[in-house]
Amino acid sequence: MPCLNKTLSKKLKNAKRVFVLGIGSELLADDCAGLLVAQQLKGPYLPKNRLSVKFKALPAGNAPENFTGEIKKFKPTHLIIIDAADLGKNPGAAAVFAPSEATGISFSTHRLPCKIMADYLAQSLACEIIMIGIQPKSLLFGKPVCKAVEKSVKSLVGVIRDCLTKPAR
């Protein structure tokens, strides 16, 4: 994910308050990619004592619109929305884009499409919104996450961690 690392580093260069919103369903195989990233960022993968920004990660399930109040309350300078998305690529592939670039990208099935929620938040907040899509292999009910998506989640957690932490001394 070297290209992803470079893109995110550039987008987060002047970040002060970063909110990561992970979207998806744990019941639908690879649809939980965004949830997994947010869950891991809440854990030991992101050492609080080395953060260079104020940070919050939230696994929002398949109704992220229910958490817009919490996002607004945090007042992020940067909001990262992560979800499984049909990018037309190999399973596990990830892409970073602005909400305006999301036309033609099919995000996983949720109550409110990601693009509509991102547009609403963009009007409500003075922050940069970064969307990250991860290509699923399967969205079948009750199936496990595929290895390619697991690997992508782990890589993306590392990329975000590297972008938000101070270098070790």
pLDDT in tens, 36-73: 999 999 866 666 667 788 999 999 988 888 888 999 99
Q: Distance between CA 152 and CA 167 in Å, rounded?
A: 23
Question: Are 50 and 98 contacting, i.e. CB atoms less than 8 angstroms apart?
Answer: no
Largest CA distance in the chain: 46
How many whole angstroms from its chain centre is CA 41?
Answer: 10
Q: Distance between CA 99 and CA 129 in Å, rounded?
A: 7
Structure tokens at 22: 């992970």
For the stretch 133-142, pLDDT in tens is 999 999 889 8
Fold annotation for 2-164: Rossmann fold (3.40.50)
Question: Are 115 and 30 contacting, i.e. CB atoms less than 8 angstroms apart?
Answer: no
